[in-house]
Amino acid sequence: MLAVHQLTYQYPESSTPVLDNISFAVQPGEFVSLIGASGSGKSTIFRLISGLAEPNAGSIKIGGIQEKNRLGKVALMPQKDLLLPWRTVLDNILLPAEIAGRPKEEATRQAQEWIIRAGLSGYADAYPSRLSGGMRQRVSFLRTIMTGADVLLLDEPFGALDTLTRQEMQAWLLSIWEQLGKTVLFITHDIEEAVLVSDRVLVLRSGDNCVDVPIGLGRPRTKDMVFTPELAAYRQQLTHMISGRERE
Ligand SMILES: Nc1ncnc2c1ncn2[C@@H]1O[C@H](COP(=O)(O)OP(=O)(O)OP(=O)(O)O)[C@@H](O)[C@H]1O
């Protein structure tokens, strides 16, 4: 579904490339996390995949096709929810449909259905200022899926949430992902979260290619899995990989 091949990128202001010869692939319907030290280039990969910047070398294919304009095929959910404060929940969610010129009635029906399935019943006409952090992220996610894109790029969506809300949102995201069947690439700083939600974890290390770690935990995932020895072993392996200690 998504194939990144020998990607290299250097910011014009910088003297060294932030990404050097990075390759990985994500299969249709997979949930893959991207982890790595701060500054290793995770958000830059998202900028390149979503077409906000062009790589210096390498290729990005969606569904086997390399196209400059990837809008509509991939959707980016940024760290900050960027909800428009003057629009209601429903109107925020409808924004991508409006931009794409989709018929309003059909898009509204779809958005209202998602509002119910996402546990936001009764909030369609509320303004973002009335919502909790977790609710804002749900609205932001629904807006992302209303683009109709097959590949969703989620850039640390739960980074600003407290632990309990974060656990709730992880379970929520997995249940929606199971209904949607979309391909997800997910950036997180939280190794436990990466293991708990993913089929595979990609570890990005500055000046190195990324390492692919398949996660053999069964599905559905439950929050109690964080207490299992399997998860503890993955946590240790990934922590060592990020810090480079597995080479010692
Ligand atoms: N617009 C820019 N111009 C120049 N350098 C940039 C720009 N944006 C990011 N960088 C640099 O590129 C490197 C990678 O940044 P990026 O945001 O992709 O990393 P990240 O892994 O997502 O980091 P974090 O985990 O802290 O969000 C960093 O050293 C950063 O300072």
User: What is the interface pTM, i.e. ipTM, of the complex?
Assistant: 0.96
* CATH 3.40.50.300 given to domain 2-80+149-247: yes
- Number of helical H runs and strand E runs in the chain: 7, 9
Atom 29 in ligand 1: which residue has the minimum CA distance?
Answer: 39
Contact by Cβ (8 Å): 186, 31: yes
> Which stretches does DSSP call E strand in 63-164?
74-77, 151-155
Q: Rounded to a whole number, what is the distance in angstroms from the first to the last CA of the chain?
A: 35
* Closest Cα to atom 30 of ligand 1: 39
The tens digit of pLDDT for each residue in 180-216 reads 889 999 999 999 999 999 999 999 987 677 899 999 9
**Ligand 1 atom nearest 41 alpha carbon:** 18
Q: Which residues pair with 183 in a beta bridge?
A: 151
Beta strands in the chain (DSSP E): 2-9, 19-26, 31-36, 57-62, 74-77, 151-155, 183-187, 200-204, 211-214
pLDDT tens per residue across span 30-62? 999 999 999 899 999 999 999 889 999 999 999
Region class of 6: left (phi > 0), else alpha (psi between -120 and 50), else beta: left
Residues contacting ligand 1 via CB (< 6 Å)? 11, 13-14, 18, 36, 38-44
Of 75, 47, 31, give the one whose Cα is nearest residue 173.
Answer: 31
> pTM (2 decimals)?
0.93
- Residue 20 CA to ligand 1 center (angstroms) comes to 14
